[in-house]
Chains A and B, each alone.
Chain A
Amino acid sequence: MRKGLAAGALARPALALAVYAIFASSLPNYHTAVGVWALLDGSVLTGLVAVGVGLTMIAGELDLSVASMAALAGVLTMRLIGVGAVPAVAVAVAVVAAALFGAAQGYLISWLRINSLVFTVGTLIGLRGVALVAANETTLTLPLDQLSITDAVDGRLFVFSPLSATMLGAFALAGLFASRTIWGREIYAIGGGRAESRVAGVPQRRPIVVAFAACAAFAALAGGLMSIRSGSASPLSFDAALLEAVAACLIGGVALEGGKGGFFGVLMGLFTLRLVLSGIASLGAPFWAQNLAAGLLLIFVIVVETASAAVGRWRERAGARAAIADRGA
């Protein structure tokens, strides 16, 4: 079985490399450092949101309100900068506020023992409303004298930009948290077996609170950084973020039912997804085709996973039949 695990761990980077190779052969800028830099930089939004959503999925839940939270954080960041805050501090405040909200969300979901899908539909709508109010129904932009802030995040070191470095750091942090700390392991435990973990004495509330707090925090980080990069924040933005983040997680091996999946895998899934999407865009396809591609890729991954599960079951049965035949012979 270890063989299977190793094979699985290799499959995802292999897929990402294959996709890269396919596009690199027809797109010149995929080879260059600048091209890769652009690819990485363009993955930051989806990547950061995916880290958070992935945590909730591993816990066996799902936070639908991430896009609204990102938009709200972007608006909040712009407002804070507008009253004189340093960009880093503005983003930090938004992240902390989001974490507190996420923790409250997680607490209510676990206390009420309600399905997180249902609950986060409400917060999805509500947070969008708060974002609209905070932005006074318009798109906020940086004050003219502070436009230089957007330059700060435009740097390049080899293939990394400040934002993509942050994103990769977030993945590393999340990966370590999930595999090396007890709070992370608890999230895997309740996702892998809610009833079993409860009987064994694993706390049920804490991991959900942690997962939802982290999810909101990462979404806020994404929204804040994006607003600084573009110099503006719209309360209605990021509506494709949820689909892309979930797709990245699923491609990356996070199981639908929870309890399974690692952050290296999600990173590979993210790259695969973004390679396909920006590859399509670079090939001249219209903007909406990206959404279509994301959907098709998701369907493809789901089909493959369902098929391999079915094949596994068929093999098991064939093995049992063979064992009985051996005994009888």
Chain B
Amino acid sequence: MLNMSHIARRYGAAVALESADLSVAGGQVMALLGENGAGKSTLVKILAGLETPDAGAIEIDGRRRRFHSPGQAREAGVGYVAQELSIVEHLSAAENVFLGDIRAGWYRSPRRIAKRARPYLDAMGLSHIDALAPAGDLSVGERQLVEIARLLSRSARIAILDEPTAALADAEIHKVENAVRTLVAKGCAVIYVTHRLREVFRLCDRVTVLRSARSFPAVDVASLDVDQLIEKMLGRRLDQMFPERARAIGEDLLVLRQAQGPGLRAPVSLAVRRGEIVGLAGQVGSGANAVLRLICGLASLLSGEMTLGGEALAPGSLRDAIARGVCFCSDDRKRDGIFAGRAVTETLSAPSLSRVSRFGLIDGERERGFAEPLARRFGLDPAHLRRKTGNLSGGNQQKAALGKWVGVDPRVLLVEEPTRGVDVGARAEIYGQLRRLANEGVPVVFASSDTQEVIGLADRFATFYQGRMVRMWNAADATPEAITRDVTHPEAAALAKDA
């Protein structure tokens, strides 16, 4: 039914897709796999009409189609459920099913809407919810199902589900799987983007793997096993960009004992020693990020304990954590990592205003003397310091976001996704700086969904899956395949028993 061939897309100098093919028949579930940055989201966004391809063709039922807007894709029968849900909380579940649909007429009695939505909600296993209750009352999984019901209500014939189960618990995943089966029974072609191999084997008929902006010919799931699939996903990658591992590891500095908080389903215990870089490997919703947020005070510790240098650590806020020397850099630098409209100097000096001011005035000399060495250290041309931070390339922006913490003389640095959206050259520089920081006695704890990055950068790392820590690894002993297994399809025995 759907045939995408030779799709290509670049953003400036970055190649998102070089040549990708994807074909799905009606009533079939096609898994779309690939590491972050392999091109998955770009490919589905093109199909959904959110992006236009630089080259290649899309054919639906033999007809060539061009989508210049999401509306056109919707008209052609393409339905897209993105990772970020588009549910309006204050509207009822029934209204969310028909959100944006003007075909339903101008008169909207709540009862009529509820009646019309009922069959779609029931088909998704949501017969127990009150169609008129606000969608904000529903759990994340239930909201996901409402969005899939929306697809059905628009008679979508091609359904794209982007990481539908990333944030869900087992019981809800079950419901989503049933929803997919319902779509299939209605003859939809389903494209299931995921990193959870268990679901691929349980639910999908065929799988297309994307790697390094190219797609591999689709294969039947039945003909594969987990190891073969992982091998396809990873391939061979250069690891010249990673610096040498730690030279000297010291005493325990940051210790978590049975710590639990939002986003974690089982308590986590780990110790970070002076001089080392510890990685937290996991995909979206795995709990890796949740651990970092617990340590830095963004999430509250609900049970267990944390210590820093032997003293109890329980920051109530980011400010408390910074005061203790625990610095946190989130994965979304545009949102809270940089000051896009201000000069790079100001981004770099923001957490260290006391250092660059005297008698309440900002001392220009001191600020320059503070920012320039910092910039140079990270490979930022000092001549660019006066530019607006937002005008730098992604890699340079990330350097600024990280660099500002180095200037604070932290005791521990916590980083989420250290090189998201960063080009290869800048990546190497960032890894080098993180290693240098660790060698200077400041341990670095980072969360990443990039297995190569975790193995290359960390001395030790913990793998996470669905809110639980799977196991601790020495990087020297680990293989990409083993890690990928842990974060996508860990054996039941390896997971901590449900407390």
Contacts and interface: CB of A to CB of B under 8 A. Distances in A.
A315 to B, nearest CB: 14
Q: Interface majority SS on A: helix, strand, loop or mixed?
A: helix
Interface in B86-131: 86-91, 95, 99-102, 104-110, 130
B52 interface: no
A100 B248 CA distance: 75
A328 B71 contact: no
Interface in A227-248: none
B105 A182 contact: yes
Contacts of A201: 70-71, 74, 99-101
Give the dominant DSSP class at B's interface.
loop
A328 B130 CA distance: 33
Interface in A156-187: 179-185
A83 interface: no
Nearest to A198: B86
A215 to B, nearest CB: 20
B110 A197 contact: no
Contact of B102 (A182, A196, A328): A182
Contacts of A192: 88-91
Contacts of B74: 201
Contacts of A320: 262, 302
B237 to A, nearest CB: 34
A180 B106 CA distance: 8
B140 to A, nearest CB: 14
A317 interface: yes
A295 B112 CA distance: 41
A113 interface: no
B99 A200 contact: yes
A: contact size bracket:
20 to 34
B99 A188 contact: no
A193 interface: yes
Contact of B104 (A5, A182, A328): A182
B5 interface: no
15 contacts: A1-B134, A1-B137, A181-B107, A188-B88, A188-B91, A189-B99, A192-B89, A193-B89, A195-B86, A196-B88, A197-B88, A199-B86, A201-B74, A201-B99, A259-B88
Interface in A196-216: 196-197, 199-203
Contacts of A327: 498-499
B303 A202 contact: no
Interface string B237-276: 0000000000000000000000010100001000000000
Contacts of A188: 88, 90-91
Contacts, number: 88
Contacts of A185: 91, 95, 108
Contacts of A2: 130, 133
Contact of B85 (A196, A324, A328): A196
Contacts of B262: 320
Contacts of A200: 86, 88, 99-100, 150
Nearest to A260: B90
B25 interface: no
Contact of B303 (A193, A259, A324): A324
A144 interface: no
Contacts of A183: 106
Interface residues of B, number: 36
Contacts of A179: 108, 110
Interface string A251-267: 00000000110000000
B340 interface: no
Contacts of B267: 328
Interface in B482-499: 498-499
A197 B90 contact: no
A328 B303 contact: yes
A327 B88 CA distance: 33
B82 interface: yes
A7 interface: no
**A-B interface, 3 closest residue pairs, ranked by CB to CB distance from nearest:** A201-B100, A199-B86, A193-B88
A55 to B, nearest CB: 15
Most buried by B among A179, A183, A195, A196: A196
A199 B106 CA distance: 21
A181 B106 contact: yes
Contacts of A325: 303
Contact of A189 (B91, B300, B302, B303): B91
Nearest to B262: A320
A199 B82 contact: yes
B72 to A, nearest CB: 11
Contact of A197 (B86, B104, B107, B108): B86
A317 B260 CA distance: 13
B109 A180 contact: yes
A183 B105 CA distance: 10
Contacts of A199: 70, 82, 86
Nearest to A191: B90
Interface in B268-312: 300, 302-303
Given A179-B110, A182-B107, A193-B86, 16 more contacts: A1-B134, A179-B108, A181-B108, A182-B106, A182-B108, A189-B95, A196-B87, A199-B82, A199-B86, A200-B99, A201-B101, A202-B99, A259-B90, A317-B300, A320-B302, A321-B302
A214 to B, nearest CB: 16
A202 B99 CA distance: 7
A22 to B, nearest CB: 32
A314 B378 CA distance: 42
Contacts of A260: 90
B303 A321 contact: yes
Interface in A293-327: 317, 320-321, 324-325, 327
B61 to A, nearest CB: 22
Contacts of B150: 200
Contacts of A259: 88-91
B265 to A, nearest CB: 9
